[in-house]
Chains A and B, each alone.
Chain A
Amino acid sequence: MSGRTLYDKLIDAHVVRQIDDDGLVLLYVDRTVLNEYTSPQAFSGLRQAGRKVWNPRAALMVVDHVNSTAAVRTRQMPDAGAARQVDYFAENARDFGIEYFDILDPRQGIEHVIAPEQGLVMPGMVIAAGDSHSTAYGAFGALGYGIGTSDIEHYLATSTVRYRRMKTMRIDVTGRPSLGVTAKDIVMEIIRRIGADGAAGYAVEFCGPAVTDMTVEGRIVMSIMIVEAGARGVVIAPDQKVLDYLQGRPRAPKGEMWTRASEAWLQLRSDPDARFDRHVTIDAGEIAPVVTWGTSPDQAIAVTDCIPDPESNGAADRKAAARRALAYMGLEAGTPIASVPIDLAFIGSCTNSRIEDLRDAARIFGGRHVAPGVRAIVVPGSTRIRAQAEAEGIARVLIDAGVEWRQSGCSMCLAMNDDVLAPGQRSASSTNRNFEGRQGPGSRTHLMSPAMVAAAAVTGRITDVRTLIGGEPQ
């Protein structure tokens, strides 16, 4: 019998019982994080059925999706709908006894940024939350994945979900990325290669030397973004870097409990002879910064390339989708992507709003200025990160460069608040999704790393960041 993958070990350790003979199980879920827009109907369902929350301590509620990110923080929401959602959210937190960070709380931030910040995420856990980017927790050796509102309600009432085991995919990242190439570029290149459904139905384990070398923050970027290839769960074996990240966090174990926990956590890994259903290898040393040109995250190219001809796509429906994407984006095949002018530069989102992303951005903005006609916005992932960036002098660098330095929230990742592009406006964005209308009806989004967004902001057009930092464009 071959060994087990880390994913299989985590699932095996969380199966409460089998439900049927087709592999449906009741899976225990250790934690959830709740936001104000996917949870209200779940709480209403509990109220209507007169149900309680099974384990209120396992959940955390935080306002992040609909709030303003204006520089001065107030309780005021951008519109009446958002205000109603936040009011109901607070009411649910109170009535069901769940810890709640409101908009003025110094611990507030994007759910996937603050859950690790608070030490709520630990290796060996299963964490399901009402947001697709809940795969973030894979970076800590926890299995993370997103669920819809009905499953939030099911989770709240039972601390379980009904679950069918995924297939497993191992993605090995070898080599060493060159200067100017980040975790974002690596994961975007993987998505470009395997497609927007390349990991659909799979739980992904990232491994290999480039992942070992990567910071925990970089692993979070990979874990979140691979969801855009359809991954339904991510795990990365925890190591000393993960322990260093978690130690001393408010909800992390302390003292003797920490010692016991950390010993157990370092045992969590796939067996050497574990079999995966699919295996992908990518050499990080071969990757250039990646930019999307279309309206699906897999419609991407190296920043040194030209926009591809839709007719070069295989199937008829793929050609049609590429033609439609180009028309929507207002671009023509054959154009070098590194010549496309932008209107707005956005650095933020659960994918790329952590301190190391802001440091990357500050290195590009330092001594430079946002190009005429371009608006640049930086939204830190949490209120704590905002404070840290201010203490490190990053905020000063950004402000001096003409960047709008904001408060924390999801902001232009999905533009549910008042940070919205006008129709036809084009952004360079450190977010995860370039879908039609994602940043506002008619908005045109190019996904890239935070450093690449900063490079676009200061030059006014999509730019190979390596030309600004003395790296080697290929």
Chain B
Amino acid sequence: MTPFLRVAGVAAPMTTPNIDTDVIMPKMFLKGVDRSGLGDGAFNLLRFSAGKPNPDFVLNLEGYRDACFLVVGPNFGCGSSREHAVWGLQQLGIRALIGTTFAGIFYDNCANNGLLTISLDVATIGMLAERVADPLTNRLAIDLERQFILLDGRDGSAVSFAIEAARKEAFLTGRDAISSTLVFADDMRAFEARHRAENPWFF
């Protein structure tokens, strides 16, 4: 997993509520056994119509084609658990999502792949969405170490954000969660023995 330290680039507004993972990654792209080819799938039915780029979709607009952040509406990523949605967003070049709330499974999937999700209050998201809707002010820089979003890339104004220490550490280091968990193998074995004694019918 790629560590997330400081990333700067274009942010695109996508503030419709409840954008689900079927919309983010349509079923036609779920037939693989690996993670490849999902960049084409990301938002496919919104990005293309009849094989041509849909001129109304934000990521097809001049100034937004190389966006690496999305400013999103509430409950982004709801619905299906498909992690392909996260892989596809990353393959499209998206590094962080900034919104009010994210759907639970999607949020965990993002964390497990190094796609940063930042939750802010409604007013701040409204302000950011309005600001990045103008191509002249659509650049942001996210500094995870210091926990702020620098607006416009240079004018100095910034928005700070909260993140739990363990999540932050995982994003900064890009570490493998399974290796970290297996350090606790003795605890796991001890728990399992106790659990088996209490619930022998589970085993």
Q: Give A147-162 as 1s and 0s: 1 = Cβ < 8 Å from B's Cβ atoms.
A: 1111101100111101
Among A78-86, A333-341, A451-459, which stretch is in contact with chain B? A78-86
B26 touches A437 (CB 8 A): yes
The size of the chain A interface, using a CB distance under 8 A, is 76
Q: Which residue of A85, A159, A228 contacts B192 across the interface (Cβ within 8 Å)?
A: A159
Q: What is the CB-to-nearest-CB distance from A246 to chain B, in angstroms, rounded to a whole number?
A: 10
Q: Known interface pairs A436-B45, A441-B45. Does A200 touch B101 (Cβ–Cβ under 8 Å)?
A: yes
Residues of chain B having any CB pair with chain A under 8 Å: 15-18, 20, 22-23, 26-28, 30-35, 45, 73-75, 78-83, 86, 101, 103-106, 108-109, 112-113, 164-166, 177-178, 181-182, 184, 187-188, 191-192, 195, 198-203
Distance of A44 Cα from B36 Cα, bound (Å): 13
Distance of A38 Cα from B33 Cα, bound (Å): 9
Distance of A22 Cα from B162 Cα, bound (Å): 13
**Which chain B residues border A146 with CB–CB below 8 Å?**
81, 105
Q: Which residue of B18, B27, B74, B75 contacts A414 across the interface (Cβ within 8 Å)?
A: B27
B202 touches A16 (CB 8 A): no
B45 touches A41 (CB 8 A): no
Q: Is A321 an interface residue, CB under 8 A from the partner? A: yes
Residues of chain A having any CB pair with chain B under 8 Å: 13-14, 16-17, 19-22, 24, 26, 28, 30, 37-38, 40-41, 44, 49, 51, 54, 57, 66, 79, 81-82, 84-85, 88, 122, 124-125, 130-132, 146-151, 153-154, 157-160, 162, 196-197, 200-201, 228, 230, 232, 253, 257-258, 260-261, 264, 296, 298, 317-318, 320-321, 324, 414-416, 433, 435-438, 441
14 further interface pairs, Cβ-Cβ under 8 Å (given A84-B31, A200-B75, A441-B26): A17-B184, A22-B165, A28-B195, A37-B30, A41-B83, A44-B34, A124-B199, A146-B81, A148-B81, A162-B177, A196-B18, A196-B75, A197-B101, A320-B16
The 3 A-B pairs at the shortest CB distance, nearest first, are namely: A81-B31, A150-B112, A148-B109
A132 touches B80 (CB 8 A): yes
**Which chain A residues border B16 with CB–CB below 8 Å?**
317, 320-321, 324
Name A299's closest neighbour in chain B (CB-CB): B18
Q: Which residue of A85, A148, A160 contacts B181 across the interface (Cβ within 8 Å)?
A: A160
**Which chain B residues border A153 with CB–CB below 8 Å?**
178
Q: Which residue of A17, A321, A435 contacts B17 across the interface (Cβ within 8 Å)?
A: A321
Distance of A130 Cα from B30 Cα, bound (Å): 14
Distance of A162 Cα from B111 Cα, bound (Å): 11
Q: Known interface pairs A16-B188, A49-B178, A51-B178. Does A148 touch B33 (Cβ–Cβ under 8 Å)?
A: no
B22 touches A436 (CB 8 A): yes
B103 touches A131 (CB 8 A): no
Q: Which residue of A150, A264, A321 contacts B109 across the interface (Cβ within 8 Å)?
A: A150
**Which chain A residues border B177 with CB–CB below 8 Å?**
150, 154, 162
**Which chain A residues border B81 with CB–CB below 8 Å?**
38, 130-132, 146-148
A232 touches B104 (CB 8 A): yes
Q: Known interface pairs A148-B81, A148-B105, A197-B101. Does A159 touch B188 (Cβ–Cβ under 8 Å)?
A: yes
**Which chain B residues border A84 with CB–CB below 8 Å?**
31, 33
Distance of A197 Cα from B27 Cα, bound (Å): 23
Q: What is the CB-to-nearest-CB distance from B172 to chain A, in angstroms, rounded to a whole number?
A: 14
Distance of A81 Cα from B182 Cα, bound (Å): 34
**Which chain A residues border B27 with CB–CB below 8 Å?**
414-416, 437
Distance of A437 Cα from B21 Cα, bound (Å): 11
Q: What is the CB-to-nearest-CB distance from B78 to chain A, in angstroms, rounded to a whole number?
A: 6
Q: Known interface pairs A16-B187, A17-B184, A17-B187. Does A230 touch B113 (Cβ–Cβ under 8 Å)?
A: no
